Amino acid sequence: MKRNTSNRDDREQHVNQMLASLRLVGIEPDKEDKLLLHAYIDDRISLNDLLAHSRQFMTLATYEEWQRTAAQSTIDNQAGINHYQVMDEMRASIIRKQKNRRKAMILSDIAP
């Protein structure tokens, strides 16, 4: 049963254009998405099926982006300290302690 009005070459060209556009903005479809795209090219699913999947993905991607932003905002606003600032200070503290420990070990090896 024919699901799409366009021919295979046109569908393949449309999919390749879409993939190029996605890659320009840093998005690479996963294996399952690629299988869906090939099913569309092979006329096993309709364009409406493909669009429904895309809308579902975009809704999920939008939600995940909102969730990441909200979580980072919460982290940044706790006690007025930025998450990255805390991480930098902890990293510096660990490095200082490692240097002091090495220095103490060297001095203990030198001492009679």
Length of the chain counted residue by residue: 112
> What's the rounded Cα separation, in Å, for the pair 20 and 37?
13
Indicate whether 15 and 67 sit together in one domain: yes
Least confident window among 10-24, 51-65, 69-83: 69-83
Report which of 67, 17, 15 is spatially closest to residue 39, judged by C-alpha positions.
Answer: 15
- 34, two tokens: 């690629």
Three-class secondary structure of residue 30 per DSSP: coil
| Residue 109 confidence (pLDDT) | 67
Indicate whether 55 and 108 sit together in one domain: no
**What is the tally of structural domains in the chain?**
2
How much is the mean pLDDT over the chain? 79
Three-class secondary structure of residue 69 per DSSP: helix
Q: Taking the CA of residue 2 as centre, how many other CA atoms within 13 Å lie in the half-sphere pointing to its CB? A: 6
Indicate whether 32 and 87 sit together in one domain: no
What is the residue range of 90's domain? 82-112
pTM: 0.50
Share in percent of the chain as helix, strand, coil (round to 5) = 80, 0, 20
Query: Each residue of 20-65: pLDDT tens digit?
Result: 988 888 878 888 888 989 999 999 988 888 888 777 777 777 777 7
Per-residue pLDDT band at 9 (split at 50, 70, 90) = very high
